[in-house]
């Protein structure tokens, strides 16, 4: 979710679900140690609960960055051991770390020693074409001994060579049964699943076997789905929520961000382009909110134009 689940996206998603745990995009230790800490770690109080996902492989660096995350109020520190991109591999982190469970355990232990919030790991079920269950079982066993009690498992292998990141989300087959088997073998651990889940029925089915479900791109492209989650999965009463009320709240947020940080509305609006997914006039609505010729307009005026044009094409 690099460049997707930034703080503006998370603010939007929090309007839709009060209880889902939100994750940052992966932030590398190098970016925090050598870059602008405030820019990388800033989030809105309304986003809570929110977890910080880190990318790195040096235990001391990860410990330093985990401490920074806890100090700024993140409720969880998550280590990414699942990203297969070649750029990430060149930094010796992401999915290639699964080949070094001892190093991952050292990284987890270093973070656990300096923070009081949970340290979790997101990973794949394997790397390259090794499809043995024993590989992921031993990885989870080794890392859990270092103090990680929650594993978010993308139920595909990561092919480190020959596939793009997009292909790595589609070509290696989904094998949910391996994630279910992890839960049976490690009943004391929190095991969550990720990958290929796009309906409430699928989520409910996975929750009968596992402790949690992580949704990525489907939540981004079809965000209105999130509006049903609190009632369906957290047992809360339904809210009087509409797409229009969410859009108005986002317009208010855009105006505040422009005043406080000089943030152009377009960098926020891009995250809500799926809000009217499947509705008549949605295509024209998206086109207006994507029109950079309107960048000088107030977002409230853009909203009015978007709805006027959408109604004409509906």
> Which residues make Cβ contacts (< 8 Å) with residue 69, sequence separation at least 6?
41, 52, 54, 77, 115
Q: What is the DSSP string of 10-68?
A: HHHHHHH-SSSPEEPPPEEHHHHHHS-HHHHH---GGG-SEEEEEE---HHHHHHHHHH
Q: What is the DSSP letter of 97?
A: G
* Whole-angstrom distance, CA of residue 141 vs CA of residue 132: 15
Q: What is the C-alpha separation between 205 and 161, in angstroms, rounded?
A: 33
CATH 3.20.20.70, the chain: domain bounds:
7-234
Residue 51's pLDDT is what? 98
For residues 282 and 307, give the distance between their C-alpha atoms in angstroms, rounded to a whole number. Answer: 9
Q: Is residue 236 a contact partner of residue 291, using CB atoms and an 8 Å limit? A: no
7-234: in CATH 3.20.20.70: yes
- Domain 243-313 coded CATH 1.20.120: yes
CA dist 193 and 197 (Å) reads 9
Q: Give the span between the Cα atoms of 229 and 17, in whole angstroms.
A: 7
Q: Please list the residues that pair with 126 across neighbouring strands.
A: 157
Q: Which DSSP category does 96 fall into?
A: G
Enter the DSSP assignment of 198. -
Residue 170 has a pLDDT of 81
pLDDT digits (tens), the chain, 314 positions: 667 799 999 999 999 999 999 999 999 999 999 999 999 999 999 999 999 999 999 999 999 999 999 999 999 999 999 887 666 555 567 889 999 999 999 999 999 999 999 999 999 999 988 889 999 999 999 999 999 999 999 999 998 887 787 887 788 899 999 999 999 999 999 999 999 999 999 999 999 999 999 999 999 999 999 999 999 999 999 889 999 999 999 999 999 999 999 999 999 999 999 999 999 999 999 999 999 899 999 999 999 999 886 666 65
How many CB atoms within 10 Å of residue 313?
12
pLDDT of residue 310: 61
Active site residues: 83
What pLDDT was estimated at residue 115? 98
The Cα 207–Cα 196 span in angstroms is 15
Whole-angstrom distance, CA of residue 314 vs CA of residue 310: 6
Q: Rounded distance, CA 225 to CA 289, Å?
A: 20
CA distance 249 to 15: 8
Is residue 124 within 8 Å of residue 74, measured between CB atoms? Answer: no
User: Which residues, at least 6 apart from 299, have a Cβ–Cβ distance to it below 8 Å?
Assistant: 251, 254, 255, 258, 265, 269
């Amino acid at each position: 979710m690099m460049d997707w689940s930034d703080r503006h996206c998370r603010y939007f998603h929090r309007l839709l679900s009060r209880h889902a745990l939100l994750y940052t995009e992966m932030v590398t230790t190098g970016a925090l140690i050598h870059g602008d800490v405030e820019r990388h770690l800033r989030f809105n109080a309304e986003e809570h609960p929110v977890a910080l996902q880190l990318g790195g492989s040096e235990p001391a660096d990860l410990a330093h960055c985990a401490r920074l995350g806890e100090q700024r109020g993140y409720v969880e520190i998550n280590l990414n051991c699942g990203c297969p991109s070649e750029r990430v591999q060149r930094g010796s982190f992401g999915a290639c770390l699964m080949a070094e469970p001892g190093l991952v355990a050292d990284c987890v232990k270093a973070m656990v020693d300096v923070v009081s919030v949970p340290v979790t790991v997101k990973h794949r079920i394997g790397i390259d074409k090794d499809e043995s269950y024993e590989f992921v079982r031993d990885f989870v066993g080794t890392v859990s001994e270092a103090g990680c009690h929650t594993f978010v498992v993308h139920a595909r292998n990561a092919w480190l060579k020959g596939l793009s990141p997009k292909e790595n989300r589609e070509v290696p087959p989904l094998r949910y049964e391996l994630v279910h088997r992890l839960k049976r073998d490690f009943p004391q651990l929190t095991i969550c699943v990720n990958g290929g889940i796009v309906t409430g029925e699928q989520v409910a089915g996975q929750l009968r076997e596992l402790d949690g479900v992580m949704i990525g791109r489907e939540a981004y492209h079809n965000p209105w789905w999130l509006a049903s989650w609190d009632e369906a999965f957290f047992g809360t009463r339904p809210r009087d929520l509409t797409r229009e009320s969410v859009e108005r709240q986002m317009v208010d947020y855009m105006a505040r961000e422009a005043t406080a940080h000089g943030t152009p509305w377009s960098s926020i609006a891009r995250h809500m382009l799926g809000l009217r997914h499947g509705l008549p006039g949605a295509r024209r609505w998206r086109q207006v909110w994507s029109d950079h010729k309107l960048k000088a307009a107030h977002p409230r005026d853009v909203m009015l134009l978007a709805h006027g044009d959408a109604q004409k094409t509906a």
